[in-house]
């Protein structure tokens, strides 16, 4: 099996590594190169030869075992079981009742099944470690608990208890609470986006919006274009629906609109996902000129746009250019917003804005998914927006985030000036830092973790971003941020 | 287009009515709210909604057709034609940007795409008509608004406002709020189900539980066995994930366990879904003996069980036999429960109980789907269960449901005794009625709808149940129930 050493999965291919490995093994078996009974090298050896984590090998093998192409044995080795074709002869043994081909008999046997990908192992580690006590979370894309409007929400509970409104305990309408949608339309109107309540679908956060769009509007095997890097690479919102991602290069003004026509044709892409304002993870704001150009190009080549406006309200120095949706006169843009980044992730309230037909289709899928979002959350969100809490909160929040951003920039200037480069973000949560030395991100992640610091490494957002970190100034307390930035600089220097 | 009803031309405006209407429609089209291809309501409907003569509508539309913004068709319908701008795509054909091979260029073109099935047309009609005013909903599987604990929930808001607990505004843990899971374990314990918080995943209602199970544990093209009839046939929770359903016949004691071994082999089924207690739609309670037998058979043939316990607490005469999950010693049963049928569908709180490995896998998918359920809903649910509201509410609710059930049984006895047969349910919401004559369900549905009565016909739950109706005594006010049952008997006799 020395030919193994010659092949490695392509890190730039949007297909997940374990699927590339799965496809490689299938090809070997189907072509007859690997024959029934042949023993495979150990998972450890394979991981090394393919240059991937062992969990990636496990993921690929589990799927091939399920497909009947590989089989494990009690000694831990794995052999080629067959080419996955059903052998018709066995089906007709003994009076038509054949033994089940499936060895799965217990719920536990199903854990490796299912169409939905598990989270990336690194993401699973991060998700788990986020709940570990005393961990300094230096990359977390959430507001620090101290920035959440706990007191105001308590006042809201009290106001709701004494108001004359009914407490909505039934299902809401398919599009969501009408009073909330009206309030959202006012809010969107202030940002130049014209919408009626029938153009708005209330969802349980932006992630669910992407799920509904991929399940409701896209075919399996569709390809969508998106910024490279993008936080969509770190989650499986689209990939689990069989949708492929193809990256569009960025510069300081945002994604390169000039690359779209070619990429659309090359990849037969069906839509463009973009996060033009305080981009996650780079913090870049798409310029006014680029927005105009992007709208023109997408209109010309017939490429619908999915705009992620999650960070839009988090401007720190000056308001950003108007959203793409504010420039949309033909229904070319589907816009997604959320309260998660600005008020409370726990409320699970987001929205999709689009043409009535599209919104109706998505509402139908939403009804089939969870029968609508929590009516209590919708009630809270309505009162929050309606009663002026939101405006006051945003002013205080911007003030606090400004202090945090400036602190982190000072720490970078002080401790990191000779080991990294970065740009000053004008809003959002993130500073995208490029390390100048030859430091291994995997090692840095592990060593930081041992020192009690949780990092979001660049490779989560772009497999090629092997020298980048997404730092967040939104989450960790300022004192912890100070300690962690110094400690990290030490660790980087040790490796460098 | 429900926002139409909110706008009317201003009778005091010096601008002629037809020009106001024209301007209104132009604004809708230019802003992208009404997009190309969208069908407008009929002239008659528009005239009524705008409060003008039909000739005024005709005048406005004629001008818009001339301007190229609307187009009529021979059938009399009118659609949005465009925004009146020149399409400059053609200008660039010769400049290296070729037209895409894909005919889809606009979000509206995607409405027919997507893997997720739309709801059945009949279900869509029912969903829509449920929000029509003055409709008597005689089949709706929800508590009547008058049965929802509105006052108690208002008290809860007040208690939460003044409590010392923090209001949880951050994301909850992947499995859901720990205090809620602890409370659920106590509640489950009272029903004989032993579970630790790590065996419980909080979800946004039972429907989401099924979505997570089909996405997370099953392969596409898997087949699951289930009761025939079953309410799962009326939704697409499993089918949209490519999972097939195969019906198991029922008798008065529940699904026929003796049929399982053969069906499992024949259909290569991977699990059994069952709703053993106050089954939806038949109301049947699986007997004690059948439960014992079912557990034995499934253990022998290696068939995991997905148990739907949504109606379990809604016993009216005496407690039902213990859940299958209470008999499970090996992790063979995955159990789903919900607050939707007993407290409030709007809260969107349900739970899955299973082995830790399975619960962890489902939690990972849940995190990728919507980052967890609303923290405010989880807080409300915790306090609701913890503070004794739940027990008091359930006693009152059973009392009210008993009255409603007995009323409906009396009405059946009085008006339907010669046209139908039925069994008295001992809990839950439903009476499964079989019509004895040769009445067409489709016609009956339409005629009832014209008379203001919304029906859930048997074919929603079993294609062969062409003489059955699922009546619900939970939703319609008693006076409406009386009127509707008499009216329906009339309609059935007319057809019979």
Q: What is the pLDDT of residue B322?
A: 98
Burial class for A390, CB neighbours closer than 10 Å (0-12, 13-18, 19+):
buried
| CA terminus-to-terminus distance, chain B | 39
pLDDT one-digit tens code per residue, A207-237: 999 999 988 888 878 899 999 999 998 877 7
A107 contacts chain B (CB < 8 A): yes
Q: What percent of chain B has pLDDT over 70?
A: 91
Which residues on chain A are in Cβ contact (under 8 Å) with B211? 369-370
- How far apart are alpha carbons A45 and A27 in whole angstroms? 20
Subunit contact B111:A358, Cβ cutoff 8 A: yes
**B121-141+393-495: in CATH 3.40.30.10:** no
Task: Name the phi and psi angles at A252, rounded to 5.
Answer: -65, -20
The residue of chain A nearest to residue B237, with distances taken between CA atoms, is A368
Q: What is the ipTM of this complex?
A: 0.77
Which residues on chain B are in Cβ contact (under 8 Å) with A366? none
More confident residue, B495 or A282: A282
The residue of chain B nearest to residue A242, with distances taken between CA atoms, is B115
- Give me the DSSP letters along B184-199: HHHHHHHTT----GGG
pLDDT one-digit tens code per residue, A324-379: 999 999 899 999 999 999 999 999 999 999 999 999 999 988 888 888 899 999 99
Burial class for B124, CB neighbours closer than 10 Å (0-12, 13-18, 19+):
middle
Which residues on chain B are in Cβ contact (under 8 Å) with A97? 262, 265
Q: Per the structure block, which two tokens stand in for B275?
A: 């709703």
Which residues on chain A are in Cβ contact (under 8 Å) with B343? 169
Which residue of B169, B304, B305 is the best one to mutate when testing the A interface, meaning the one whose CB has the most A CBs within 10 A?
A: B169
Q: Which has the closest alpha carbon to A282: A329, A227, A339?
A: A227
CATH architecture of the domain A2-83 equals Orthogonal Bundle (1.10)
Nearest-10 Cα torsion for A486, A487, A489, A494: 150
- How far apart are alpha carbons A278 and A306 in whole angstroms? 16
Q: Per-residue pLDDT for A90 more than 50?
A: no
Lowest mean pLDDT among A113-122, B308-317, B357-366: A113-122
CATH architecture of the domain B150-390 equals 3-Layer(aba) Sandwich (3.40)
For residue B343, how many C-alpha atoms fall within 13 Å in the half-sphere facing its CB?
Answer: 22
On whether the CB atoms of residues B146 and B477 are closer than 8 A, the answer is yes
> What distance in Å separates residue A416's CA from the closest CA in chain B?
31
- How far apart are alpha carbons A157 and A376 in whole angstroms? 10
**Which member of B115, B150, B371 has the closest CB to residue A167?**
B150
Burial class for B88, CB neighbours closer than 10 Å (0-12, 13-18, 19+):
exposed
A149 contacts chain B (CB < 8 A): yes
Give the pLDDT band of residue A51 (cuts 50, 70, 90): confident
pLDDT one-digit tens code per residue, B50-99: 888 887 888 788 778 777 788 875 556 788 887 655 332 222 333 333 33
> What distance in Å separates residue A420's CA from the closest CA in chain B?
32
Which residue of A150, A151, A293, A355 is the best one to mutate when testing the B interface, meaning the one whose CB has the most B CBs within 10 A?
A: A355
* Domain boundary assignment for chain A: 2-83, 121-141+392-495, 150-390
- How far apart are alpha carbons A452 and B134 in whole angstroms? 61
Q: Per-residue pLDDT for A97 more than 50?
A: no
Give the pLDDT band of residue A100 (cuts 50, 70, 90): very low
On whether the CB atoms of residues A275 and A227 are closer than 8 A, the answer is yes
The residue of chain A nearest to residue B208, with distances taken between CA atoms, is A370
Q: What is the pLDDT of residue B73?
A: 59
More confident residue, B479 or B329: B479
- CATH topology classification for A121-141+392-495: 3.90.1150
Choose which CATH entry (1.10.287.130, 1.10.10.10, 1.20.1050.10, 3.40.50.300) describes domain B2-87: 1.10.10.10
B303 contacts chain A (CB < 8 A): yes
Mean pLDDT score of chain A: 87
A121 contacts chain B (CB < 8 A): no
Q: Per the structure block, which two tokens stand in for A40?
A: 């495979």
pLDDT one-digit tens code per residue, B290-325: 999 999 999 999 999 999 999 999 999 999 999 999
DSSP code of A315? Answer: B
């Amino acid at each position: 099996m020395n030919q193994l050493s010659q092949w490695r999965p392509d890190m730039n291919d949007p297909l997940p590594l374990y699927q590339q490995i799965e496809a490689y093994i299938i090809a070997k078996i189907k072509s007859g190169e690997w024959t029934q009974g042949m023993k495979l090298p150990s998972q450890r050896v394979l991981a090394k030869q393919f240059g991937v984590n062992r969990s990636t090998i496990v993921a690929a093998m589990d799927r091939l075992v399920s497909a009947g192409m590989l089989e494990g044995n009690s000694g831990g080795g794995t052999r080629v079981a067959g080419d996955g074709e059903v052998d018709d002869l066995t089906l007709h043994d003994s009076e038509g009742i054949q033994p089940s081909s499936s060895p799965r008999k217990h719920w536990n046997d199903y854990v490796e099944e299912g169409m939905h990908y598990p989270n990336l192992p690194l993401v699973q580690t991060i998700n788990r470690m986020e709940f570990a006590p005393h961990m300094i979370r230096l990359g977390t894309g959430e507001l620090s608990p101290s920035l959440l409007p706990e007191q105001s929400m308590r006042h809201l509970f009290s106001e709701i208890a004494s108001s004359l409104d009914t407490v909505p305990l039934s299902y809401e309408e398919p599009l969501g609470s009408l009073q909330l949608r009206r309030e959202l339309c006012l809010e969107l109107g202030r940002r130049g986006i014209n919408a009626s309540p029938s153009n708005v679908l209330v969802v349980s956060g932006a992630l669910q919006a992407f799920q509904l769009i991929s399940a409701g509007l896209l075919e399996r095997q569709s390809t969508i274009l998106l910024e490279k890097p993008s936080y969509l690479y770190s989650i499986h919102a689209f990939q689990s629906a069989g949708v492929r991602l193809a990256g569009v290069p960025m510069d300081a003004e945002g994604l390169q609109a000039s690359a779209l026509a070619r990429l659309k044709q090359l990849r037969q892409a069906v839509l463009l996902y973009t996060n033009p304002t305080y981009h996650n993870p780079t913090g870049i704001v798409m310029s006014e000129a680029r927005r105009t150009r992007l709208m023109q190009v997408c209109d010309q080549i017939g490429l619908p746009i999915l705009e992620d406006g999650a960070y839009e309200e988090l401007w720190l120095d000056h308001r950003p250019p108007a959203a793409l949706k504010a420039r949309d006169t033909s229904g070319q843009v589907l816009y997604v917003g959320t309260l998660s980044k600005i008020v409370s992730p726990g409320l699970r309230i987001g929205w999709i804005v689009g043409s009535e037909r599209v919104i109706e289709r998505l509402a139908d899928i939403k009804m089939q998914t969870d029968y609508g979002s929590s009516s209590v959350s919708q009630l809270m969100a309505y009162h929050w927006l309606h009663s002026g809490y939101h405006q006051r909160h945003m002013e205080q929040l911007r003030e606090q985030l400004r202090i945090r951003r400036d602190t982190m920039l000072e720490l970078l200037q002080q401790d990191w000036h000779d080991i990294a480069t970065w740009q000053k973000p004008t809003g959002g949560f993130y500073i995208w830092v490029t390390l100048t030395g030859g430091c291994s991100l995997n090692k840095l992640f592990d060593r930081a973790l041992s020192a009690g610091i949780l990092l979001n490494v660049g490779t989560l957002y772009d497999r090629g971003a092997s020298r980048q970190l997404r730092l967040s100034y939104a989450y960790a307390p300022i004192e912890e941020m100070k300690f962690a930035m110094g400690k990290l600089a030490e660790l980087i220097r040790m490796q460098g």
